[in-house]
Amino acid sequence: MSTIHVGVCGWGDHDTLYGQGVRSRDKLAVYASHFPIVEVDSSFYAILPQRNYESWVRDTPDRFGFIVKPHQAMTGHLRGDAPVNRRELFAQFEESIQPLVEAGKLKALLFQFPPWFDCTREHVQYVQACRQALAAYPFAVEFRHQSWFEACFAERTLDFLRQIHAVHVLCDEPQVGTGSVPIVPAVTHPALAIVRFHGRNKAGWRDPGEGQNWRDVRYLYRYSEQELTEWLVHIRKIEQEADEVCILFNNNSGGDAAANAKQFSDMLGLDPSGLNPRQMELF
Q: Where are the domains of the chain?
A: 3-267
Question: CA 86 to CA 47: how far, in whole Å?
Answer: 13
**267-283: b (≥16 Cβ within 10 Å) or e:** ebebebeebbeeeeeee
Q: Give the 3-state secondary structure of residue 266.
A: helix
Is the pTM of the predicted complex or chain greater than 0.75? Answer: yes
So what's the pLDDT on residue 254?
63
Burial (0-12, 13-18, 19+ Cβ within 10 Å), 43: buried
First to last CA, the chain: 42
Contacts of the segment 84-90: beta carbons below 8 A, 24+ positions apart: 87/133, 89/47, 90/130, 90/133, 90/134
Contact predicate 55/100, CB 8 Å? no
- Collect the ranges in the chain with pLDDT lower than 70: 1, 79-84, 204-219, 253-254, 279-283
Contact predicate 46/72, CB 8 Å? no
So what's the pLDDT on residue 40?
97
Looking at the structure, give the CATH architecture of the domain made up of residues 3-267.
Answer: Alpha-Beta Barrel (3.20)
Q: CA nearest 252: which of 211, 198, 213, 206?
A: 198
Q: What is the DSSP letter of 54?
A: H
Question: CA 86 to CA 280: how far, in whole Å?
Answer: 47
pLDDT tens-digit map of 172-208: 999 988 989 999 999 999 999 999 999 998 776 665 4
Chain centre to alpha carbon of residue 92 = 21
